[in-house]
Amino acid sequence: MLLSRGVRIACPSWRCVIVKPTVVVARRFQSTSTVVDASTSSTSNVESKKPYYLTTPIFYVNAAPHIGHLYTSVVADVLKRWQQFKGNEALLLTGTDEYGIKIQQAASRAGVDPKAFVDVGADTFKKLAAAANISYDRFMRTTDPDHREAVQHFWRVLRERDFITLKKHSGWYSVSDEAFYPESSVERVVHPPSGQVITVSKETGKTVEWMSEENYHFKLSAMGPELLNFYEANPDWLVPSQRYGELKAEVARGLEDLSISRPKERLAWGIPVPGDNSQSIYVWLDALINYITFAGYPWLPGTTSSPGKPQAWPADLQIIGKDIIRFHCIYWPAFLLAVGAQPPKQILSHAHWTMSKKKMSKSDGNVVDPFHAMERWGVDTMRFYMCMDGGIISDGDYSNQEVEDKYTHFLGNQVGSLVNRVCSKKYSIAEAIRTERDGVQVELDEDMGKLYKALRYGALEGVRERVEGRMARYDLAGALREVMTLVSETHKYIHLAALWQENKEGVRAYMLYPAAEALRISGMLLQPFMPEKMGQLLDILKVGENMRGWEEAAVGRDFGYGEGTAGTKERLFPKVYSEEQTQQAEAAKTKKASSD
C-alpha cells in the first residue's frame, strides 16, 4: 500500500513495517506583492524587495487606553511577527494622534498646556505597547517635526493640483469624532439620562451640533468615480467583504466636499495651514498622513522614500477598527490618489469588544483596563485570548471567565501538559531523533502502525501550511485552532501508544519522534502569538535560536534538539488562581510571617 510522500507500508496480519520517506527540503519563502498603479488602477504581481509594512491607527490621547487599543496592537504585532517567522523583513508603525479640538478642550479642563497634556498621553500608549510586547519600528507622534513637515507639504501638493478651495461650510459637527457629517449620516434619538431628543452620528453614536464657518475644503465630490474604479480594480482591498459592499454603496450615492481646516480661533492646537495662519489643518487630514511620514514623505522624485527612511510605501496592510472605515477607506485613498500616490494594498477592519454583550462604557462600569488584565493574566495569555476570541466581522465579548477557561484548557492542560509528557524522564527525545536521523527500521503491529501514520501523516503533516492559509486570511483564531488541534491529537496519540510502558527495543523512541516533532512545530507556529512563552518552550526542547523559522517548522528539519530534556520540571503554564484565592493566599503568607 502506497501512502503520501512515498511511504510504503507492508501489512501482514500481525505487524506493520514502516519505511520512512526521504525528507524534501522546501525552498525559502519569497514574497511577492500586488502593486496598484494609481493612474490606471491596474494590478500586476512583481517580486517585491520592500519590507512588509503594517500599521495600526494612531491612537487619540484624550483618554486612557482601553482593551480595543490592545487588541488592534496585538493583531498587528502577531501579523508582523508571522512575516518575520517566514523570513520576510517587516515593519510596524503605531503611535498617537495629538492634535484637535478634543485635545485642546481636555488640556484646558486639566489646566495644562496641550503639549504637556499629549506628552503624558503618548507616554501612556508607549507603556501599553511595551507591556504587550508590541515590536513596533516607530512610535509616531503627530507632534513630531518630520510629521508636521510632511503634512504641510501634502497640503501644498493638494493645493497645486487644485483640490483645495476656500468656502463657507455648514453641517452637523461632532467634537468627539472631530468630523462633519451630512444630513444622511445623522439621526435624532432620545438621550436616556435626560429624556431629551438629541442629534447623533449614525456611525458612532456621538452627539453632533449644527455649525457654520468658513474653511478650506478638499474636493472629495470629484473623487467618487476614481474611488469606485479603484475599488473595482481591487476587490479584496477592504476586509471583511461585508463592509466593502457598504462602503461602495456609500460612495456610489455621492460624496460631499470635505472640510479640511478649522478657524484658528476655534482650533489653536493644530498644524497651521501653509500660507494662512488663521486656519489649522483638520485633524483627520493631519493624522492620516502619519502613515507616509514613516516612509519618508515628502519623497524624492521617482521614489517612495527619502534618505535614511525605509522604502516602505505602499503599506501592505493597515489595521483599523470598524468605526473609522470612512476616514481610512474614503478620505485616505482619495487624498492619496489626489496627490498621485498609491493607496495602501489592503485594509483590515476589525470589530469591537463588548462585555456581557453590551458596549463598554465607564458609566456602566464595564470597561476593561488592559494594564490590569495583562498583570492579572499574563501578557502572552492575553495575547492568546484576544486572538482567539476577538472579532473581525462580529464583536468579541470580553469575559474574565473565558480568559481563565482558555488559559486552563488550551495553555495549561494542552500545551503546558504536552511539554511535560513529551519531556518525560521515562524516555529520551534525543534518542527518538537519532532513530529518525539514522533511518532505524522498527516493526510495529497494525494498531501502532495506524496510530503512527495518523499523527505523522495526518495531524502533523502540512500543519504549517494549514496555519499559513488561515493567517493569509487574517483568521488568527482559526490559525490557533489548527495548532491546538495538533496538540490535542498528540495527547491522544501518547495516551493510545502508552509510551510510558516498556516495549520492544526501539519502538518507544520510534513512536516518540512524531510527538516530539508535534510539540516543537507547535511551539514554533505559536511564536508570533506568544513570543515569550514559546521562546521558553523551545528553550526547554533545546531548539537552537537559528532553528526557529519557517523552513525548520516541518517534520525532519531539525535533528539537533532534545538533548537533556528528559524529566523537565518547568511549569510553562502554572495553575491560575482567582483574585479571591490570591488574596487569601497573600493573607495567609502575611499571617505566617507575622507569627514567625
**538 is written with which cell numbers?**
523551545
Return the pLDDT at 49: 74
Whole-number pLDDT of residue 180: 73
Q: Are strands 317-321 and 347-350 parallel, antiparallel or unpaired?
A: parallel
Does residue 221 contact residue 255 with C-beta atoms inside 8 Å? yes
- Tell me the three cell numbers of residue 570: 518547568
| Residue-by-residue DSSP string for 77-127 | HHHHHHHHHTT--EEEEEEEE--SHHHHHHHHHHTS-HHHHHHHHHHHHHH
Q: How far apart are CA 391 and CA 381, in angstroms?
A: 17
Distance, C-alpha 204 to centroid of its chain: 23
Q: How many angstroms separate the CA atoms of 134 and 174, rounded?
A: 32
402/267 Cα distance (integer angstroms): 44
Contacts of 80 (CB under 8 A, 6+ apart): 52, 54, 90, 91, 92, 135, 528
Q: How far apart are CA 300 and CA 101, in angstroms?
A: 33
Q: What pLDDT score was predicted for residue 426?
A: 87
Distance of CA 287 to the CA centre of its chain: 20
Q: What are phi and psi of 339, to 5 degrees?
A: -95, 5
Return the SS3 of 332: helix
- The three-class DSSP label of residue 582 is helix
- What's the rounded Cα separation, in Å, for the pair 480 and 381? 13
Query: Residue 528: what residue type?
Result: P
Nearest to 129, CA basis, from 90, 96, 85: 96
Give buried/exposed letters for 216-250 (b at 16+ CB in 10 A, else e): bbbbbeebbebbeebbeebeebbbbeebbeebbeb
Pick the CATH number of 400-596 from 1.10.730.10, 3.40.190.10, 3.20.20.70, 3.60.20.40: 1.10.730.10
407 DSSP assignment: I
**The cell 512575516 sits on which residue?**
83
pLDDT at 584: 64
Cis, bond preceding 298 (omega within 30 deg of 0): yes
Nearest partner of 289 among 156, 92, 150, judged by Cα: 150
Q: Is 251 helix (H, G, I), strand (E, B) or coil?
A: helix
With contact defined as beta carbons under 8 Å apart, do 379 and 388 qualify?
no
Strands 197-201 and 186-190: antiparallel
pLDDT of residue 476: 98
The confidence score (pLDDT) of residue 306 equals 78
Alpha carbons 467 and 483: distance in angstroms, whole number: 7
Q: For position 198, what pLDDT does the model report?
A: 85
Type of residue numbered 375:
E
Q: What is the pLDDT of residue 480?
A: 98
Q: Residue 550: which residues within 8 A CB-CB, separation 6 or more?
A: 28, 29, 85, 86, 87, 464
- The three three-digit cell numbers of residue 73, written as one number: 496592537
Please give the order of strands across the beta sheet that includes 358-359. 358-359, 353-355, 396-398
The residue ranges of the chain whose pLDDT is under 70 are 1-48, 178, 192-194, 362-363, 502-505, 577-596
Contact in structure between 191 and 200 (CB atoms under 8 Å): no
Q: How far apart, in Å, are the Cα atoms of 590 and each of 9, 268, 595?
A: 64, 55, 9
Query: Residue type for 557, please?
Result: R
Backbone angles phi, psi at 169, to 5 degrees: -130, 135
